[in-house]
Structure 1
Amino acid sequence: MSVEPGVSQQAVRQAEAAADAAAEAAGVTVRQAEPRDLAAVIGLFERTWGVGHSPDRSMLLALDFAGNTVMVATKAGKPVGATLGFLGWTDGIHLHSHMAAVVPWQRGSGVGYALKLFQRALCLQHGVADMRWTFDPLIRRNAHFNLVKLGAEVVRFLPDFYGRLDDVITGSDRSDRFEVRWRLDSPRTLRALAGELPPVWSGSDSLSLDVDFERLRADDPAEAVRRRDESRTLFQNNLSRGMRPELTENNDYIFTPDVPDRRPAPD
């Protein structure tokens, strides 16, 4: 594939190699979805969020036809993961990675990582060096995946972004979200993808992620509401004064004025 201006051939080759290695490590094949895959993609999305919480086939077909990243991961020929992303231009051209689903028995096996790295490679092939998405800031494993494993950075807090979702994951909880930006060829991203540990961030304000928030929502809804309220105030106050959330070595939030590309201190 020819490379669009603005991205080096070397960056694209390295991204393609990283995506291939991630797929091999997860034991999957990742590719653009074809029309015959769309029923399985919808099934994966609905298995994750519930019936009626996937774009319908015609919408997925149109997005795929237009060249957006409707991608599927297969293992032994069977779909085990899927992702959906589409181009946006708010604050610059980027891919908005909207949905990603992995079958329960493959979660934590690297399938989601492989899907993200294939999205990254495809973006760089087309001269798009920026991906963005949203995630629930109280889900610790997602925070670690996004900020540490991928090297994305939080750029905005969006309280109750989607309104009431009533899906399998969120239920009646408020849909507070962080928007993250993944600068696909930045020093921060390259260090994260190489498996390097992030720096020790400076800062004084923090938030512990010491509970499984998804289980808390089910077991103690009142406490979940209290934690949601507490976190919302903390996020709004800190981001409004230019402090960014990062993760400590214990995977708790710390709010820092440090630049996102800060290098770790030498040993």
Structure 2
Amino acid sequence: MDADVAGQYVAEALAAADRADLGAGVITREAAEHEIEAVLARFESTWGEGRGPDHSMIRALAHAGATVLVAVADDEGGVDASATPPYAIPGELLGATLGFLGWNEGLHLHSHMNAVAPAARGHGIGLALKLRQRAICLEHGVVEVRWTFDPLIRRNARMNLVRLGAEVAAYLPEFYGVLGDEISGADRSDRFEVRWRLTSSRVLRALAGGAPPRWSGESGFALVPDFEAVRRDAAADAARMRAASVRAFTEMARQGLRPELDDAGDYVFTEAEPDAEEAR
């Protein structure tokens, strides 16, 4: 990539991350050494004690330059007027994310963990952390970020595929085995792996707020508004949904199709290119 073009991408990415910070009422940045315990506590409060890296691992990753990032409540008076009580304690660590480099199928950052305090969710902190991660990657010449997510959680699918413009690259059944953590319990750890190509037309359109294409293709899989609530309150129903999704996603992969979201927030299975501007 031409140096001037790369510099423009970096400048625009930093500006986008700063705007996201302002809207969420936080400051996102690399974690300081004295914040590692708070980062660990944020991860453990999300997934459960002992379900993430320990202090020494986070310290080593941060020292090596991996993206160990925090979102702290803005104490400099920059909070958006719409910000609400979660930001009442200036300097409080409200979110943390961890990513490290990988090189399978090309150099990329694997964004492994992203946690936000329960009381602060829904205010754009997760988005702000992702955009800061993107800016840091581009500063270092890394143009792709990957991560996995549970394909049955609709809000995550919408954030990843529509708001951020990532694309599903693979279906990974039982990727982590039985996690037994505070979120998944004994449920299967089926995941979609997404690729976030940081300077692609798809991503630039998404980050600018552009509407995604109306994807043409086969009827895919209908999502419930809150699968986590179903899993918590109606385990048998959740198990049936999971089993149906395994059949649907396995057949999708067999046919060489990709999942996208339709206007209703359900999956459609398509053969269209990820950067398509309109459905085909």
Give the TM-score normalised by the residue count of structure 1: 0.96
Mapping 1:206-221, distance limit 5 Å = 206-221=220-235
- List per-residue Cα deviations over 1:55-91 (Å, max 9, x = no partner): 1010000000000000000002110000000000000
Q: Which residue of 2 aligns with 1:29?
A: 27
Q: Which residue of 2 aligns with 1:177?
A: 191
State the distance in 2 between where 1:173 and 1:7 align: 45
State the distance in 2 between where 1:18 and 1:263 align: 23
Give yes or no for the alignment of 1:68 onto 2:82.
no
Paired residue for 2:207, among 181, 193, 205? 193
Paired residue for 1:56, among 46, 49, 54? 54
Q: Which residue of 2 aligns with 1:258?
A: 272
State the distance in 2 between where 1:222 and 1:35 align: 44
- List per-residue Cα deviations over 1:19-65 (Å, max 9, x = no partner): 11101110100110111000100111011111111210100000000
- List per-residue Cα deviations over 1:117-137 (Å, max 9, x = no partner): 000000000110000000000
State the distance in 1 between where 2:19 and 2:232 align: 37
State the distance in 2 between where 1:256 and 1:210 align: 21
Give yes or no for the alignment of 1:234 onto 2:248.
yes
Q: Which residue of 2 aligns with 1:245?
A: 259
Q: Given the superposition, is the C-alpha separation of residues 82 and 163 from structure 1 closer, same or farther in structure 2, using an over 3 Å criterion?
A: same
State the distance in 1 between where 2:222 and 2:3 align: 43
Q: Which residue of 1 aligns with 2:134?
A: 120
Query: After TM superposition, what 4+ stretches of structure 1 lie above 6 angstroms from structure 2?
Result: 3-7
Question: Does the 8 Å contact 1:4/1:127 carry over to 2?
Answer: no
- List per-residue Cα deviations over 1:95-143 (Å, max 9, x = no partner): 0000000001110100000000000000000110000000000000000
Q: Which residue of 1 aligns with 2:79?
A: none
How far off is 1:6 after superposition? 9.9
Q: Which residue of 2 aligns with 1:40?
A: 38
State the distance in 1 between where 2:59 and 2:3 align: 28
State the distance in 1 between where 2:216 and 2:98 align: 35
Question: Does the 8 Å contact 1:156/1:180 carry over to 2?
Answer: yes
How far off is 1:219 after superposition? 1.6
Paired residue for 2:11, among 9, 13, 27? 13
Secondary structure at the aligned position of 1:8 is classed as helix
Q: Which residue of 1 aligns with 2:163?
A: 149
State the distance in 2 between where 1:244 and 1:154 align: 7
Question: Does the 8 Å contact 1:71/1:82 carry over to 2?
Answer: yes
Secondary structure at the aligned position of 2:96 is classed as strand
State the distance in 2 between where 1:67 and 1:7 align: 24
Give the TM-score normalised by the residue count of structure 2: 0.91
Unaligned runs of 5+ in 2: 74-89
Identity of aligned residues (%): 56
Secondary structure at the aligned position of 1:137 is classed as coil
Question: Does the 8 Å contact 1:7/1:129 carry over to 2?
Answer: no
How far off is 1:240 after superposition? 2.2
* Alignment length (residue pairs): 263
Q: Which residue of 1 aligns with 2:85?
A: none
Unaligned runs of 5+ in 1: none
Q: Which residue of 2 aligns with 1:160?
A: 174
